[in-house]
Each structure stands twice: as C-alpha cells, then as structure tokens.
Structure 1
Amino acid sequence: MANPHSVEVLLRPAVELYTVAVCAGAALVCVVAPWSLALSPVLGLGSSTAFLTFGAIRLRDALSILRYRRNIRRLPRYIMTSGSVPVSRQRLFIGRGFRWEQRHTHRLMQTYRPEFRHYVEPTALYRFTRRLEQRLEFAPHPLSKLARLTAWDSPLNPVRPLPPVGGIPRLHGIEPHEIDVTLPLGERVGHSLVLGTTRVGKTRLAELFITQDIRRKTADGEHEVVIVLDPKGDADLLKRMYVEAKRAGRAGEFYCFHLGWPDISARYNAVGRFGRISEVATRIAGQLSGEGNSAAFREFAWRFVNIIARALVELGQRPDYLLIQRHVVNIDALFIEYAQAFFARHEPKAWEVIVQIEAKLNEKTIPRHMVGREKRVVALEQYLSQVRVYDPVLDGLRSAVRYDRTYFDKIVASLLPLLEKLTTGKTAQLLAPNYSDLNDPRPIFDWMQIIRKRAVVYVGLDALSDAEVAAAVGNSMFSDLVSVAGHIYKFGIDDGLPGADAGNKVPINVHADEFNELMGDEFVPLVNKGGGAGLQVTAYTQTLSDIEARIGNRAKAGQVVGNFNNLFMLRVRETATAELLTRQLPKVEVYTTAIVSGATDSSDIRAKTDFTSNTADRITSSSVPMIEPAHVVGLPKGQAFALLEGGNLWKIRMPLPAPDPDEEMPKDLQQLAGYMRQHYVEAADWWWDNQGVPDLQDAPLPDDLLDSFRHLEMDKDAGEVTP
C-alpha cells in the first residue's frame, strides 16, 4: 500500500492525489516556462522528469488506496470457462485469494469502527437506486423500463448492483493483491473436507476439482481414476463430468450408475468381488444397527450371511443380493443343493440311504425343532447325525436348519428389510446383474476394473425417491472400496496379471457429495488407511451435526473429522461447525489508535499561564482471534476459508462458471439431465419433498430414450459401451 507504518490506515481520503496534482503542474511549468523558475530549458526538462517521477510514485499510492476502498464495497468479477481451468501434475488449482495474516485481521477490525463506516457501507445514491427499483417494478409501462437501466450490470453504470452472492464483501476486499491458490497434490492423500450450507458453492468447488482430476495425467502418461458419489443427483455435475471426459478423450471410460434410471445405468454387484469370503457378510450385516440389543441380531445376521456366501462360492456361484435374499428366506433349498454336490464328490451312495430315511418320515417321527422343514432336510439332518462327515460349509448349513423355523424367522427379521430394499423392482437388475445375458448392453463394472482402466464413474443414488436404498447402496460401495483399497495396498493394482508390480498404485480420486448420507463404520478405515492405496477422498457436507447425526456418536464423528488434513469452510449456519476452523487458529495482536486530549488549570493567580493543554495519539494493542465464527457465517457465495498444508489459513474465491462453446452431450444424457433438473432438489429438503414426489425408480422413460440405448453395442472384453 502507501507507506508501511506501525498502524496501517487505508480507509481514508486519497490525499496523495493532491501531491500528484502539484507535481503535474510543476512539471508542466518546468517544460513550458522554465524561465519563470529561473531554469534553463535543459534544467527545466530534468526538473520536469523529477516531478513526474515523484508524482507517479504518489499516484501509485493513491490508486492503491482507491482500489482498496473499491474492493471493500465490491469485488472484481472472476469468471472462467472449464476449458481454461489450469491442470498441473504438481498442484491442484482452487481459485484466487491470499494467505490470511495478522494485517488482514487488523484491516478487518478497522472496517467495523464507526469513523470508517461511510467507506464500507453502500453509498446513499446506491441505496436510493435500489429502493427506486423496487417501486418501479409496480409502476406503469414507460417508467417500469427505467429499472432495467439502473440495474444494468456494467462498469459504466455508476449505481451498478452488487452480484447476488450475499455475505460481507469486505472479507475478501481487504487484500487487493490476489494470487492463484493451489494445493500440492502430495497433500491430497491426506483427504479434504468441504463444509458449507446449501447453495453456497460446494458443487462448483467439486466441479473445479473433478475437472482437473479427469484431465490430469500422471508422470507415466496415464489418467487418474475419478469416482463421484452424488446422492441427490446433480444434472450439472453429470454434464460437467461427461463433457470433461470427452474433452480428455475418455468418453469410452465414462460410466454412469444411476438408481433412478436403471434402464440406462451401468450395473454393479457390491458383493461379487472380495478378497476374503467373509467380506460379503461384513458388507451386508455392517449396515444393520449394532446399538443395544440389536448387536446380537447383527452378529447372527453376519454369521448367517457368511454361511450362505461360503456355500454359494463352493457351488461355483457368484454371490449377489438376490441369491442371498433367496436363501435367507429359504435356507432349505441351499442346504439340499450343497449336500447333493458334496455327496456326489465324496460319498455317492449316501443319497440312497437319505432317500430311505425320507420315505420313513411322518409327522410323529419328525423332531419338534424340525417341524416345518422339508422332509429331505430332515432326512439329511438325521443321516449326518449318524455318519461322521466333517465339512465346515455343510456344518454351517446344518446348524442353520436346526433352528426352530419360527425362532429363525425372528432372528433374521432385521436382515430381510435391508435385502428387500436392495432387491425390489428394477434396482435388482443393477445390483444383481446377470453376467450370462449377452443381449443386455448395460456394462457391468467393479472397483478393481475401474481402477485398472483409469475410468471415470458417476454414481447417482436417487436419494430423493428412496433415501434408505440410496444410503444402503452407497454404504455398500464404500465397503467394497475399502476392501479393494486393502487389496491394492498389499498387492498393487496389477495383482494376478503378468509382470505384476506390488508397488504399482495410481491416484484414486473419490468425491463424496453429501457423504454423511452414505457413511457408516467402514468410512473411518477408508479415510484412515486408504491413503496407502492411493485413495484421495474429498468429502462434502453441510455441518458437523450431519456427521454426528448419521453416526449417532460424537466421539466417532470427531474421529471421522480428525482424518481430514485439508479443510475448506464455505458459509455455514451452525456456529459449532464454524468453530471447527476458528478454534484451530492462533490469536494475533491488532493495533488501535486513540486521540487523548486534556487541559490543566493553574492555581497560581499571579502566574502568567492560566492553563495548559495537550493532545496525543495513543497506540494500543489487543489480542484477538484471527477470524471469528461470525466471519465464516458471513461469507459470500463462492468464497471460503481454507486450512491447507499443515494449518496455513487462506482466503479463497472460486471462479464463476462461464459457458463453453463445445459443451455437447449425447441426446440420451441430455434427457436424463433434464429429468434430474426437474425432479431433484437439495438434500436439506428430502424429508419434505419426498412426501409429494412420485417414485421415480420405476417410472417409465421416453421411448426415444430407451430406443437409443437398445442400439448400444457392448465390448465384451473391455466392458465399454459405445453408441
């Protein structure tokens, strides 16, 4: 700014302009009439140059003051097309801003002082113009057009309206000198948390990050993996991902999984791939409540699902939700099927004995605890009780069928509603795909395949139609991703392939919007230990209370938040959430000035002095927080405070999106995006709007949309769908 002093005062008249005017006049005189100053023409020219140099220095100082005063009231516009977003292999671009230091806190405190009020608040002419526009809205036709003139958004308009971002402009205007704010890519493995209330720029920030992740290439020339989980379904986000994938030449690697539109969605089996067979039971039973008396039922459900999964694998079948639900409802069929396969391999003549035992059974000879079971199941149980046969899977199935049928139905009562949610309607086609149906053009993917192909995946969970199913599917995806991350950490992504390198890992960028709706107990190890496998999680949510409400435990919520090294805080409405940022910042010393004046009367009547007076400027310092929670609450839209690289505080504003001329989408995705814009609302309104919105899951799609997808051809080897 002008000249640094102990107390910096920038909200003041630009008195340097007086010096500029005097220097300009003196330079003119030195050139035009050097003789009036007793100077020769040569000395007059030199003196003119000296005056102009000094005037330029003072003009620079004056312009700094004027620019500071302008930015306090209004920020300069910051617009950027997606194609102009810088993509670096070293750093992640965030926006423009500055590192917040003590001097910025000092400047901010000055703006609240009453003597500087007229520099900060809108002018009287601006306030009058805005009131006039409100009245002209209801004026007759010729006068109503005048409001358009005063609302003209142009620098030529002296009463130009402020952009509709709300908040306090002074929070960013206290530093006119901005720089591009970036985050080293090495810091992203520590994960990032983005907090902000609805409609303040979280999705725009997500688009900025996702755009760079899709277009970035690693040192070996390969792209990075991008996975986006969007519970509510944002049409603009889907459009941005497809456009960026196409721009980067990755349209063939783009997958769209959407529960609301199963006819055009890719398919995914959340329990079909695993490192250990017990992971199947963990992913399913892990979504059941484990609090209080529910813990015992959850443990039984885990054991029961594990028995079924082991039997299916031994029979050469891939587990999925439909198969597990079928055998939870009727375990007898699986017991018989597995026994047939087991005895066919180890004891072919056993079935003759079992058939004889079955023929002798009647209501009197069937044990009480086996009442209601098929006679063949009872015959198998009696045969196994007489013959020493040891097989862990067969013993597990045998223990399940020995339960009383009524008692068995009670202890699996908590498991059945979850399986019903995941296997009802067309959702079952997505979560339990038929691998042998070659006529179905919808691709099937799993996370290991996605990572190996460096693909881009958009996951829309249709939470507005059914929040519970969305949470269950999202939870399953997180659990599956944790399992894949563990496998990559141990063996690398090329395990099982020729020339596999256990240390081969690629960046896996996971963006979880409204992640509090998706998270469960498995989310903690995902952010706690996933960094070793290359996972880079960026989570977006509104408040800390959302996380605590989802988990139901404050200590666990703190455990989740403690695993995020980078914090982006947009405008929030909850003070406790704002304090997550402000309490991590130190206090700083700010200086204030006070005018002290006084007078002292003389008691000596014969003295020549009747009184003495004095006036002094006193400088005092006080310790204040670097920023207050009220400053976070007052952030304009599109602006944020960020703690980066070990606690460095940055003030950031994100670029506003500008339309690109090459933003084109296929007709089918355009219609899907159009439906999403019509039917989807903000996450905060699910509980209300869900009452009046029809279920979109089974809603029919337009015929032209379905026909366009019937003509898709699937590459069986690569699993890609091309029009």
Structure 2
Amino acid sequence: MEALLRPPVELWSTATAFAAGTLAWLAPWALMMPPGIAMATSLTFFGFGMWRGRQAWRVLRYQHHMKRLPKYQVRANQIPVSRHKLFLGKGFRWTQQHTQRLRDTLKPEVQSYVQPGTLYQWARQKEVAWESIPILSLLAKALRSRSRWNPLAPLPAVGGKPALHAVDPHEQPVWMDLGERVGHTLVLGTTRVGKTRLAELLITQDIRRGDVVIVFDPKGDADLLRRIYAEAKRAGRLDDFYLFHLGFPELSARYNAIGNFSRITEVATRIANQLPNEGNSAAFKEFAWRFVNIIARSLVALKRRPDYQQIRRYINDIEPLFVEYAGHCARVAGIDAWASLVEERAGDIKERNLSNALRGRSMEAIACMRLLQERAIYDPVLDGLISAFKYDKTYFDKIVSSVGPLMEKLTTGTIAALISPDYQDEHDARPIFEWMDVVRRKGIVYVGLDALTDTTVASAVGNSMFADLVSVAGHIYKHGIAANGADASESERQRHSIPTISLHADEFNELIGDEFVPLLNKAGGAGFQVTAYTQTWSDVEARIGSRAKAGQVAGNFNTMLMLRVKELDTAAMLTEQLPRVEVFTLMSVSGVDDSSDPGSGVDFKSRNEDRISVSEVPMLTAADMVTLPKGQAFALLEGGQLWKIRIPLPDNREDAAMPNDFEEMADAMRRSYITNDHWYRVTDHWWHAVSEATVESADSSPNSEGQN
C-alpha cells in the first residue's frame, strides 16, 4: 500500500537527524565522543537526514501538484523535431499504479490534500467582492495576480482535475514512432480544450521535417494560419506555401475542384455527392449525376477543363454545348461546309411541325441533330448530348433542379473565381495549385473553408478536395509522382521516392463524406498520413448518417488522442479499449466481544485490524475523460499503450517569424504573388492524361451514359 496523501512525517526524522548531526559536528564533547567518531557520526546523521528529506520532498511535491501543476510552455523554435519520432508533449505511461493513486484521491479523509484550502477560497471570494470598492480594489487586484510572489494566486484557467496528471510527478518527453502515423491518428476533444494547439505542435514538426503538409480548417482559425505561415518561413519553405481561403478571396490561391481526375466520371460524382440521397431525392441525384457526366465528357472531348462555372451554364442551357460538340463531330467526320449546311437546314424547319419536346429549342440545334442523324454519325458523348437535348425543357429543369441551387452557391460572387479559375487570365496574379504539383514540390497548403459563413459551400469544396486527393493517391500508388514526359530512369526513381503527405483535417466532421473513407483505408501506400480532429464521435455519425459507416471510419484510426470530452459515448471509445485492473483498498475493522464465562476473569475482548481488499475496476472511466484539464490528453499509442500527456502551450514572445497580425502576413503574401506561374497551365501533358482517363472510363462503362 502506498500512502502519499498524508502528513509528511518524514520531516520530523529529517529535522532530528540534522540536529543530531550538527550537534555531533560542533559539540562532540556533549555526546562524549572523540572528534574522529563524532565526525563519522555527524556525516551519518546528515546522510540519513538527506535520505529522509528526499522522501519528505517526494510527498510534498506530490501533494502540491495535486492542487497546482507547473506551467508547461515551449517556444516555437524549441519544439523538438526528429526524423523517426513525433513529439506529443510531456507525460508518463499510465499503469495500474496510477489508477490506484487516482482512486485514492476520492477518499473523504484526503480532500484537504486535493482541494484548495479555506484561505484560497476566501481569496477567490474577496477578489470579486472587493473589485468595485475603492482601495480594496487594489487588494483584489493583488489577490487576482498570478505572480509567483502571490501565495493565494488563482489556479490556471484550465479547469478539470489536476490529480489526473499529478498522480505521477515524474514526467518525460512522449514520442510516437513515425511509422505508426501511416495508420492515421484521431484527436477527440470538446470546444476550446486544446485541439488546435495540438494541431500546431504536430504541423510544426511536419513542416520542419520536410513533409508535404495539407491542413483543412473549416472554421478558419487565424492563430493556426499564422503558426503555419511562421513555420513555413522558419523552415525556408515560404515559396511553397499556398493559402486557399474562401473567406479571403483577394488573398487566396485558386483551385479547380473538379478539373483534375483519374476518370472522367469523378467530375459528376464529386458534384452529385453533395446532393441529398434520402427517399425520393435519390432518384433526382442519379439524374443530376447523369447529366453532369454528359456535360463533363463533352467538355473534355472539346479539350476544355471542366469547372463549376461551365457545369452551371450548361445545366441551365445545354444547347450551346450541343451545337459546339456537333460541329466538333462534323469536323472529325470530315463534313465540309458544316456551318452552311446547318444554316440551310435551320431555315427549312417549321416550329409547328416539331414535337412538343423540341418546341422552343433553337433551330440551329435542331438542324445539327437532324444532320448528324441523317449521316448516321455515332459518338457516345454525342449520343448523351442528343438524349439530353430531346428532353422537354420544363421536364429537364425539374429532374436537374436538385443540382441548381448547389451550383448557384458555388458560382456566386468572388468565390466563383477561386474554385472556377480562368487559366488564361494574365491579369490575375493569384497562383493556381493542383494537388499533384503540390506533392512534387513538397508544398504546404492551408485550406480555410469559412464554414461559419456558408456550410454548404465549405462542405462541397472540402469534399471535392478530398475526392481529388483520393484520385491523386491512386495515381501515386500506381505511377509514383513522376511528371508526364519524364524519362524512364527518372520515373522509376520517382516511383520509389514517394514523399510523406501529412494531412490534417480540423473539425473533420464538417468535411467527412464518402470520399474520406477511401482516403483512410487505401491511401497509406501512397504516403498519406491523416490526422483528424473533431469534438464528438456523434458529430461524425450524424454527418455520415449511418452508425455502421461511422464505425468503419473509426476502425481506420490506429492512434487516438483524447482531450476533454463531454459526451460519454465518445469517452467510451477510449475507455472501452482499456483492460480492467486490480486496486487495493485499506479497511479498518474494530470490534468488541464480551465473555460469557463469569469465572474466567476476562470481561471482554477487543480487536483492531487493517484489512486489504482487492477489487477489479476499469483502468479509466468516462468520468475521467470529462474532468481532463485543458491542454491535457490521454493517448492510445502503438498498439494500445496508454499515455497521459500534457501539450505544451505556445510561447510566441520574441518570435521573429510570427507575423504580428493577419494584415502583415497578407501583405507579405501579396508581394510573393507577382506573376502567374506556368506550371499549372493547360498543357498537352494535361490533355494527354485526361484523354487516357476518358478512354479508361469509357472502356469500363457498360454504356455511354451509365455510371461507372
């Protein structure tokens, strides 16, 4: 039995030993000892006193930490970085001993060692009562001060129960093997308990290690953005830093969310996945998928990169696209003077002779359709366009009505230029990035989705980015990161030098969709390592809409870090994975028995006993997760090893790399956006890759319009 919550009785023997040692040293005659023996006796007493003093200090420090833990703050340039390990903070490996100590703090007789004393409570009351009273307000201010000279200073504003970490005052740096990160990491914690600060710690190490770093931040945390910018600057990687922020379009880089794909059907899938699919909405979603797929295939066949602006335009009016593609088919078929033929045929068409579905359509488009049918020109893309063109316009508008509002939101205002960039606009100096180029350049990308302003747009853009990343992962897995046109030796070298891609998804319940699951369970071989942050697991279940699918997502996270959570089901995700342990309880038993024999001379018998009982309890309970102080977490690492950690608070004092405010960072980034880079332009390499994707998609499709 270990007893640390008790009076430090070792101090008595310490004082006695030092007193006796001093007496033997200074006055050996008082002990009737020769000088030599007195010297040896004095040293022996001093040694014994130091040994007992160390034991007393252990008890005193343990009891002090029960009420107030020492502050843990680290400057950014002092964060340790390893090529083989990931630093998580300071802490200790949690064992049965710590469960025993934690249960000991619940006993009523030890509360004076765990809870702040009466004088502390008096100070907290008076600092409020006196704050508006002249003269006494100065005393209240002194009581409120956290100076080391204030014996009644208030506790740090971290809440929780310090005893959860004080059960082991011997902290050590906690490291996680980098090989475990490929199994992905899940961070759970309620609002304002340190998830973003933990993200800063991990992202800082990833940037300095030279990884490709991609950060998704739905809410747009300014401190996190400033930290990423500062670390990119400190690591000399500012030229490879890209800011994509829906809330600051004038500063943001541009990105075409549907312009890159491995299969052409991905364009329709990324858009249709944002639509509701419950009940009758499922049928409309399928119709929307089909017509978006027809438009995307037509644009690619015309050597045009799809974007939201074009999809919206042709969903509303497909005739211009049909006429343009008909001319393309005529050129391929070698039909001369196609424009004259169309004009001549259009003049012969009478609207009264048309079917109801074609009335109101342009005569030019009808002429194109009839000329192509007469010449028996067949093209799978053309066949899909004709089928869409033949629909009654009113009926067509109804069956694609579900995609209209979404496209309207994605193409309205300044955001349209961000996610539907004009590649040929020489006057727009904002760079355009693509994920494969980011990987090749070992770039750093911050994605601020401004979800507080418009959740729908944030979710659509985020999911499209995830889908694009899955496509990139598939390409890297099969072909490596070599660019088109690289020689064979270079391609082979690039195949075996896949960079580490550290993806951090803050508030990932806002982003998760069908695209996120394959990124977790299939992208590890392509170098992706995902760290996801969320508040409760119910947020994920509500977002996905299925408990089974949520369990599928949870099963792909091999490492879990849990800060304070308020939902017991979320806490149980960690506690139910832990074993049960045996704890010891000391029970005092006393009793009296009277004697029934009057001649024995014994009137009664008394006894006093201390009994130790053993009981089996959970190593941690959900209630322990609820009472964690801010900045503290339990980590389940490397196959179920439980660690208790403290996350270091950032110290930005005298940090030359940290911008003072957002405007300073914005000005610096504007200066770096001097001209458009040419690496993202529409090139023959892009068209060659898209052509291969189109052929692959067409070969694998059962028909020209069916889903792949």
- TM-score band, normalised by shorter chain: over 0.9
Q: 1:40 aligns with which of 29, 34, 41?
A: 34
CA distance in structure 2 between the aligned counterparts of 1:259 and 1:527, rounded to whole angstroms: 25
> In structure 2, the residue corresponding to 1:370 is in which secondary structure?
coil
| Residue-by-residue CA offset, 1:63-102 (whole Å, 9 max, x unaligned) | 1000000011110111111111111111111111111111
Give the alignment partner of residue 49 of structure 1, picking from 19, 43, 62.
43
SS in 1 for 2:357: helix
Compared CA separation, residues 718 and 331, structure 1 to 2 (3 A): closer
- Cα contact 1:282–1:302 (8 A) shared by 2: yes
Partners in 1 of 2:530 and 2:356 — Cα distance?
A: 54
The CA deviation string for residues 195-232 of structure 1, in whole angstroms up to 9 with x for no partner, is: 1111111111111111111111xxxxxx2111111111
The equivalent residue for 1:27 is: 21
Equivalent position of 1:284 in the other structure: 271
Aligned amino acid, residue 384 of structure 1: L
Q: Deviations over 1:213-272 (max 9, x none)?
A: 1111xxxxxx21111111111111111111111010011111111111211110000111
Question: How has the CA–CA distance of structure 1 residues 668 and 343 changed in structure 2, closer, same or farther, with 3 Å as cutoff?
Answer: farther
| Counterpart code for 1:129 | A
Query: Structure 1 pair 231/68, CA: closer, same or farther in 2 (3 Å)?
Result: same
Counterpart residue number, 1:602: 595
Task: Tell me the distance in 2 between the aligned counterparts of 1:524 and 1:271.
Answer: 19
For residue 194 of structure 1, what is the amino acid of its counterpart?
Answer: V
Shift of 1:138: 2.1
**1:298 CA drift (Å):** 1.7
User: Counterparts of 1:264 and 1:518 in 2: how far apart (Å)?
Assistant: 23
Q: 1:439 to 1:668 in 2, by over 3 A?
A: farther
Aligned with 1:447 (options 435, 443, 446)? 435
- Secondary structure of the 1:368 match is coil
Distance 1:667 1:155, change over 3 A: closer
SS in 2 for 1:267: coil
Q: Could you say which residue in structure 2 is the equivalent of 1:575? A: 568
Aligned twin of 1:378: 366
Residues 360 and 303 of structure 1: CA distance in aligned 2, closer, same or farther (over 3 Å) = same
**Deviation digits for residues 304-325 of structure 1 (CA, Å, limit 9, x no counterpart):** 1121111111111111111111
Letter in 2 for 1:332: E
Distance 2:119 2:39 in 1: 45
Deviates more, 1:276-285 or 1:61-70: 276-285
**Cα distance in 2 for residues equivalent to 1:445 and 1:195:** 31
Cα deviation code 1:444-463 (max 9, x no counterpart) = 00111111111111111111
Question: Under a length normalisation based on structure 1, what TM-score does the superposition of the two structures give?
Answer: 0.90
1:630 aligns with 2:618: no
Instruction: Provide the residue aligned with 1:98 in structure 2.
Output: 92
Matches within 5 A, 1:69-108: 69-108=63-102
Conserved? CA contact 2:431–2:673, under 8 Å: no
C-alpha deviation, 1:342, in angstroms:
1.4
Of 165, 170, 182, 2:158 maps to 165
The amino acid that maps onto 2:478 is K
Give the equivalent residue in structure 1 for 2:59: 65
How big is the shift at 1:431?
Answer: 0.8
Query: For 1:440-494, what per-residue CA distance to the aligned partner results, in whole angstroms no more than 9, with x for missing partners?
Result: 1100001111111111111111112211111111111111111111111111112
Q: Deviations over 1:647-701 (max 9, x none)?
A: 111111111221231345669942678xxxxxxxxxxxxxxxxxxxxxxxxxxxx
User: Do structure 1's residue 324 and structure 2's residue 311 form an aligned pair?
Assistant: yes
Aligned partners of 2:244 and 2:253 also within 8 Å? yes
Q: Which 10-residue stretch deviates more, 206-215 or 275-284?
A: 275-284
Query: What is the rounded CA distance, in whole Å, between the counterparts of 1:616 and 1:665 in structure 2?
Result: 64
Give the letter for the 1:244 counterpart.
E
Cα distance change on mapping 1:716 and 1:548 into 2, 3 Å: same
Supply the distance in 1 between the matched residues of 2:290 and 2:610 (Cα, whole angstroms).
Answer: 79
CA contact (8 A) 1:232 1:462 kept: yes
Partner of 2:353: 365
8 Å CA contact 1:441, 1:710 repeated in 2? no
Deviations 1:85-128 (A, max 9, x none): 11111111111111111111111111111111111111111111
Q: CA deviation at 1:601?
A: 1.1
Matched residue type, 1:656: L
For 2:322, the equivalent position in structure 1 comes to 335
The residue aligned with 1:201 is: 194
% of aligned pairs identical?
56
Partners of 2:355 and 2:665 in 1: how far apart? 58
One-letter amino acid of the counterpart of residue 328, structure 2 = A
- Cα distance change of structure 1 residues 37 and 672 upon mapping to structure 2, 3 Å threshold: closer
Q: Is it true that 1:584 corresponds to 2:577 in the alignment?
A: yes
Q: Secondary structure at the match of 2:491?
A: coil
TM-score by length of 2: 0.92
Deviations 1:529-579 (A, max 9, x none): 111111111111111111111111111122112211111111111111111
Aligned 8 A contact 1:371 1:405 in 2: no
SS of match in other structure, 1:318: coil
Letter in 1 for 2:366: V
Aligned partner letter, 2:297? R
Moved more, 549-558 or 444-453: 549-558
Q: Which residue number in structure 2 is paired with residue 500 of structure 1?
A: 491
Within the candidate set 414, 434, 438, 1:426 is matched to 414
1:258-277 pair list within 5 angstroms: 258-277=245-264
1:82·1:660 contact (CA, 8 Å) conserved in 2?
no
Contact map agreement 2:249 2:418 (CA 8 A) in 1? yes
Instruction: Give the residue type in structure 2 aligned to 1:643.
Output: L
Equivalent residue for 2:142, pick from 149, 153, 156:
149
2: distance between equivalents of 1:251 and 1:641? 34
Q: Does structure 1 residue 133 correspond to structure 2 residue 94? A: no
- For residues 281-302 of structure 1, the C-alpha deviation after alignment (integer angstroms, 9 at most, x for no partner) is 1211122222222222222222
Question: How many residues align structurally?
Answer: 675
Counterparts of 1:180 and 1:666 in 2: how far apart (Å)? 29
Q: Aligned pair 1:660/2:653, yes or no?
A: yes
1:226 to 208, 213, 221: 213
CA deviations on 1:341-397 (whole Å, 9 max, x unpaired) are 111121314735544432221123212222222112222332333332221111111
CA distance in 1, matches of 2:2, 2:454: 57
C-alpha distance in 2 between matches for 1:23 and 1:326: 91
**Alpha-carbon separation, structure 2, partners of 1:193 and 1:663:** 32
| Distance in 1, Cα, partners of 2:426 & 2:80 | 42
Match of 1:678 in 2: none
State the SS of the aligned residue for 1:660.
coil
SS class of match (2:565): coil
Give SS of 1:571's match: coil
CA distance in 2: counterparts of 1:455 and 1:718, whole angstroms? 14
Corresponding residue number in structure 2 for 1:437: 425
Whether 1:309 and 2:300 are equivalent positions in the alignment is no
Q: Cα offset for 1:495? A: 4.3
Q: 1:404 to 1:350 in 2, by over 3 A?
A: farther
Letter in 1 for 2:18: A
Q: Which residue of 2 aligns with 1:647?
A: 640
**Aligned ranges 1:102-121 → 2 under 5 Å:** 102-121=96-115
Pair 1:457-2:445 in alignment = yes
Residue equivalent to 2:460? 472
What does residue 516 of structure 2 align with? 523
Deviation larger for 405-414 or 493-502: 493-502
Counterparts of 2:66 and 2:419, CA distance in 1: 54
- Tell me the residue number matched to 1:683: none
Mapped partners of 2:378, 2:392: distance in 1:
23
Q: Which runs of 5+ in 1 are unaligned?
A: 1-6, 217-222, 674-704
Q: Please say if residues 426 and 676 of structure 2, whose CA atoms lie closer than 8 Å, have aligned partners that are also in contact.
A: no
Q: State whether structure 2 residue 8 is matched by structure 1 residue 14.
A: yes
CA distance in 1, matches of 2:654, 2:669: 25
What's the CA shift for 1:718? 5.6
The CA distance in 2 between the partners of 1:152 and 1:577, in whole Å, is 37
